[in-house]
Structures are given as structure tokens and as C-alpha cells.
Amino acid sequence: MNHKNSARLLTFLLALLVSFFGYPQPIIDLTDTPELTAGEYTRYLQENNDEKLTLAQAIAAFNSSEVRLGKHQSISLGISVAPVWLKTRLLNSTTNDENYRISVETPWLDVIEAWIVYQGRVIQQVSGGDAVAFEQRPMQYRYFAFEAELPKGESQLYLRVESVGPMAIPLRIATTELAVKRDISSSYQYGFLYGIMVALALYNLILFFSVRLPEYGLYALYLIGFVINSLSYTGQLHTWITPDFGPYFQDWLDIFLMITYSIAGLHFARKLLQTKQYAPILDRATIVVTLVIPAGMVIGFIFNQLTFALFLAFLLNTTFAVLFILLGLQALKHRIAAARLFLICSVTAATCICISTAAVAGFVPYNDVTFKLIEVGMAFEAICLAFLLAQRFRSAEADKQMAEKTARLDSLTGLNNRRGFAHAAQPIWFQEIRNGRDVSVVLIDIDHFKRINDGFGHSKGDEVLKAVAAVLKRGARRSDIIARWGGEEFLILLPETSEAQATQHAERLRQQIEKIELTSPGGAIKFTASFGVCGTIDGMFSKTKLRDDDLETIINVADEALYQVKASGRNQVKAATQQHVRQSRSKVKV
């Protein structure tokens, strides 16, 4: 007989054996595999809701052919299903008894009973679960766990699990040493993910109280709500705060904490993307979801219908993920700046949430990866959304700075207005006088400006103002501060410039203005300007005797000098006299 015929005969015989006896349950050699999630090594069966099996009856049932073998690392059967029995064969092939930790890493399961059977007799029995008082549990831990000393050879582990919530049973078996290491690693992972989200939440909460924009506050509530919800369904919150609040308390706590982050998250997305402006129907639908589904969950709580409330909670979770994507798509369609990144992070987070939710509900395999995907997805989304909010904050700050800058500028000439002059000149003034340096001001008035407006029109008058502003800008140094002081008046602050130097500069500007010629239908437009100058000179305005409040005085003195120019024929430059100084200082004192 050749090899091909031998292989065919062996395959036929195996198929024949399987058809008569079914697949034999695999055994876990704990010496070779000291740590695993044992779903694929576990057979299980469910009770009829009206009859609770004893251990003996369950063992008899497992010896029949009606039980099923797990297909994934964890066994997930759905929400509000009948109690389930599990059987796992454990082999200790060493010569010594070994300590192992056996755990079911789902905190919300209500009642879990465990038996270890060795050579036909029960050598250990424990009970725990969410319905058992914390101090009565085999290990005071966030989920059901106990430690067992397995003798040499084969032992059978039997578990009975009863719960109204999602029947997700990740049966974990590991040496005590490896179990402790896993706890430490898991704590670091959760601490890292929670740390990111809490830090971002607190930062944006501070921003909310600073800028009073609702999206920052809603984002903070969204993250804080999710962290608290995650702490709840991973059993950590229940362990710290509510360990003895009775059966089903954690189930209710978990689903109502879903409401907090889901509602805050959806309203945050509405505000961030401003959907009310361009997608009012979707915006209203989002509001309705945040009202109707939570109201149904409250009704379920009032009438103690946990299954109904659980269904609505998972519906809210799914709707939340779908609406996030729809909001992002609408924003992208209407070319909202934040839409693209929002859509990327929301699709990623929604995918992770749906996978985790489906794993808990029993639709996809439940394991370490699928269970923790929701935290990973939310952390990724939190970072992306924080980046979007930071962009918005920077944009708002830039808009604010632009508005402030615009408020300090004259819209016609682009020069500083009075407010802009004060903002720019005060620091320079204080620096100059404290360092004992020269400083001067020049006040300029366009001669007979009203005649220009009356004779050629206001548009030509505006051209004259812009032409004068252009001359002043061309003649200015980087340190000079130029402002349109009012109507047809201009003011220049000249740091490190004495009055004599300022007078020479003013004369050059006067000559350049005098040469300007503008065209108009009514003929050429020529005009002149008058200049009043005041600055540091030997005497009352010595650079070593200037005071903090002398800037206003110097401007008033320059105005007095300008008045003298107008009275004596215009188109001249006049520096201040000591008499002007004394008069202006006396006016300031009064």
C-alpha cells in the first residue's frame, strides 16, 4: 500500500471516530503552557432557566455529546442568557504540586461557582462574583479569581456562571507568579491610557473656564466620563468605592456611566463641527438620541428591567459611534476645517468601540485585544480631538490678535490710530527716559484740508491723506512710531532723537509733502503741511529730567508749536519754546 492510500485510510478512520464520539476535549498541559486564556480548551453547556444543575448533574451532562467546545480564547454568549457551565481539563505533569491562579476577567458577572475535581472527588470549591460581598470573595479583587494548588496529574475545573449582564467569560489560568506580573503590566497599561485622557481633560477644563467656549468643557466631560465608565466596567471603580452595594449594582452603574460620556461626546461633536449651521436635521437627530435613549434607560431602571436597559445602553453605544462618523462626514462635505482629522479619529475610535462592544455581546471573539481596544481607540481619539481644539484655540487667539491689531490701526492709511499709538509708544517712552536718551515728537497738520474735500470731493481728500501717510512711512526708521492723530493730523514719536534732529527731519518731510501732486478731473491737487516739534533740549526738557507722564506734555507742547505755525502762515516747521513747555506743564498739573 502506498503512502497516498495510507493517508486516505487514516483520514477515513478519523472521520468515522469523530462521527461516533465527537471531538475529544483537549487538555491543557500547564507545564508547557503556564499562562493562557482557556476558551479554546473549554467545553460548555447552558442550563434551562427553570432548573439549576448540581455539580453531579453537570458532570453527567458533560459526558454526553450535547456540549460545545469554545472556538475562541474567551466564551461570549450574549446578554441575559441562561446560566452556563464550563469544564476545562488541566494537566500538571511535574512531580510537585503547583500553585495557579484561576480567574474570570469579567467584573460584572453576578454569581460564579468553581470546583476543582481530582480523581473523582472535589478538592476545592469557591464562590464569588458581583453578587457576593467583597470580603466573602475568594480573592478581594476586581473580578472573580482564586488560587489553587493543583496536584500532579489531571484535574478538572468546573465553573457555573450566572449573570443578567453580558455573558463574556474569559477564563484565565496562570501560575501565581505570571498572574502577578500580568496584573502589574495591566495596571501600567491602564494607568498610561487613563493618564493621557485625564491630563487632556483637565487641561481643556482649565481652558473652558478661561475662554468659556462650550466645546472645551464638553470635551473634558466626555473624557472624564469615559475614564470613569472604563474604571467601572473593568471593576476598578467597583472595587474601590462600591464593593458591597449588592448584586446588579455594577451592571446599573456601568450602563448609566455610558450615558455620561456618550451624551457629552455627541454634544461636543455638534459644537466642534457646528452642525446646526449646515446640517440641522442631523443636529436635531443627535439631540433626540441624547434624550430618548437615556430616558428609556431611566424607565428601565425605575421598573427594574435590567435587560431592557442593557439593550438600550448597547444601542446608545452603537448609535454614538455611528453619529460621530455621520457628523464627521457632513462636516467634510461642507468643508469644515476640522472635519478630516475628526473623521479619521472618530472612525478609528468607533471601530474600536464597536469591536469591544461586539466582543462583550458575544458577536466577535472576546480577548485581551478586543476588550481593551475601546481604551486604545478612545486614547487615540482624545489626542486627535485635543489637537483639533488646540488648533481652534490658536485660531481664536490669532483672530483675537488680528482684531486687536485692527482696532489699533487706521483703516484708511494703515497707520496707528490713537489707541495704537499709545500701545506702541508707551513702552518705548519709558525705556528712553529711564536710559536717559533723547526723544522727540512731531505733530503734522495738512493745510486747508477742508478746501480739498469741498473742492475735489472726499475721495480725493482720502487720497491726500494716504499720500501724506506714504511720505511719513518712507521717511521713518524702524523704531519710529507714526499715527494718524485725528482728521488731517499725524503724529510721529522719534526715539533717540533730540529736538534739533527732529526739526531737521520734519523739514525734510515738509519739503517732500510740498512736492506731491495728485491728478483729478478738476485739475492738479497740490497741498502743504504744517509741523510742530517738541523734544529733549537743554532746559526743562533735558533728557535726564524727563518724567513718566511727560509724553502727554511733549505732545501738547508740539501742538502749541503747530498752532503758532498755523497762525503765522502755515507750511512751516516750528520747534517748541520754553514758554510753550511751561504753559503745557501747567495745564497738565491743573
Is residue 5 domain-resident?
no
Is residue 550 domain-resident?
yes
Is residue 11 domain-resident?
no
Within this chain, do residues 242 and 176 fall inside the same structural domain, yes or no? Answer: no
Question: How do the residues of the chain divide into helix, strand and coil, expressed in percent and rounded to 5?
Answer: 55, 20, 25
Within this chain, do residues 482 and 576 fall inside the same structural domain, yes or no? Answer: yes
Alpha-carbon distance of 50 to 273, in angstroms, equals 52
Within this chain, do residues 376 and 433 fall inside the same structural domain, yes or no? Answer: no
Span 566-587, average pLDDT: 71
What CATH number is attached to the domain comprising 140?
2.60.40.2380
DSSP 455-496: HH-HHHHHHHHHHHHHHHHHT--TT-EEEEEETTEEEEEEET
Of 127 and 25, which is predicted with more confidence?
A: 127
Of 388 and 470, which is predicted with more confidence?
A: 470
pLDDT at 65: 63
Reported as type and span, the H/E element at residue 349 is helix 339-361
Q: Does pLDDT of 265 surpass 70? A: yes
pLDDT at 55: 96
Within this chain, do residues 456 and 484 fall inside the same structural domain, yes or no? Answer: yes
Predicted confidence band at 532 (pLDDT cuts at 50, 70, 90)?
very high
Q: Does pLDDT of 590 surpass 90? A: no
What are the pLDDT digits (tens) for 374-388? 888 888 988 998 888
- Output the 3-class SS for 495-519: ECCCHHHHHHHHHHHHHHHHCCEEC
Is residue 519 domain-resident?
yes
Alpha-carbon distance of 45 to 359, in angstroms, equals 19
Q: Which residues of 39-65 are buried (b: 16+ CB within 10 A; e: fewer)?
A: bbbbbbbbbeeeeebeeeebbeebeee
Q: Which of 398-402, 466-470, 520-524 has the highest mean pLDDT?
A: 466-470
Does residue 111 contact residue 246 with C-beta atoms inside 8 Å? no
Q: With H, G, I as helix, E, B as strand and everything else as coil, classify residue 548.
A: coil
Within this chain, do residues 106 and 211 fall inside the same structural domain, yes or no? Answer: no
Does residue 233 contact residue 254 with C-beta atoms inside 8 Å? yes
Active site annotation includes 517: no
Is residue 6 domain-resident?
no
Nearest partner of 178 among 295, 37, 379, 65, judged by Cα: 37
Is residue 13 domain-resident?
no
What are the pLDDT digits (tens) for 50-79? 789 999 999 999 987 678 998 888 898 888
Within this chain, do residues 219 and 174 fall inside the same structural domain, yes or no? Answer: no
Span 445-464, average pLDDT: 93
What are the pLDDT digits (tens) for 277-332? 999 999 999 999 999 999 999 999 999 898 899 899 888 888 988 999 999 999 99
Q: What is the DSSP letter of 96?
A: S
Span 116-121, average pLDDT: 95
What are the pLDDT digits (tens) for 13-50? 433 343 344 456 799 999 899 999 999 999 999 998 67
What are the pLDDT digits (tens) for 151-191? 999 999 999 999 988 898 999 999 999 999 999 998 998 89
Does residue 237 contact residue 142 with C-beta atoms inside 8 Å? no
Is residue 52 domain-resident?
yes
What CATH number is attached to the domain comprising 263?
1.20.1070
Q: Which residues of 166-200 are buried (b: 16+ CB within 10 A; e: fewer)?
A: bbbbbbbbbeeeebeebeeeeeeebeebbebbeeb
Domain holding 138, by residue range, is: 23-180
**pLDDT over 70, % of the chain:** 91
Q: Which of 374, 403, 432 is the last residue of a domain?
A: 403
Domain count, the chain: 3
Within this chain, do residues 433 and 574 fall inside the same structural domain, yes or no? Answer: yes
Tell me the pLDDT of the chain averaged across its residues: 86
Within this chain, do residues 442 and 524 fall inside the same structural domain, yes or no? Answer: yes
Q: Output the pTM of the full model.
A: 0.68
Predicted confidence band at 5 (pLDDT cuts at 50, 70, 90)?
very low
Pairing of strands 42-46, 35-37: unpaired
Within this chain, do residues 207 and 87 fall inside the same structural domain, yes or no? Answer: no
Span 529-543, average pLDDT: 79
Within this chain, do residues 164 and 199 fall inside the same structural domain, yes or no? Answer: no
What CATH number is attached to the domain comprising 514?
3.30.70.270
Amino acid at 572: Q
Within this chain, do residues 485 and 557 fall inside the same structural domain, yes or no? Answer: yes
Is residue 408 domain-resident?
no
Q: Does pLDDT of 215 surpass 50? A: yes
Span 533-551, average pLDDT: 73
| Cβ-based neighbours of 240, under 8 Å, separated by 6 or more | none
pLDDT at 9: 44
Considering 381, 463, 488, 560, which one is annotated as catalytic? 488
**Rg of the Cα atoms in the chain:** 41
Residue 324: phi, psi to the nearest 5?
A: -60, -45
Pairing of strands 144-150, 98-104: antiparallel
Q: Does pLDDT of 7 surpass 70? A: no
pLDDT at 538: 58
pLDDT at 540: 54
Within this chain, do residues 387 and 431 fall inside the same structural domain, yes or no? Answer: no
Cell of 335: 468643508
Q: Which of 130, 164, 180 is the last residue of a domain?
A: 180
Q: Does pLDDT of 97 surpass 60? A: yes
What are the pLDDT digits (tens) for 398-448? 777 777 777 889 989 999 999 999 989 988 888 888 888 889 999 999 999
Q: Does pLDDT of 117 surpass 50? A: yes
CA–CA distances in Å: residue 580 to residues 501, 554, 559: 19, 10, 9
Cell of 459: 475721495
Residue 224: phi, psi to the nearest 5?
A: -65, -40
Question: Could you give the count of Cα atoms lying within 13 Å of 109 in the half-sphere of its Cβ?
Answer: 31
Q: Which of 149, 165, 180 is the last residue of a domain?
A: 180
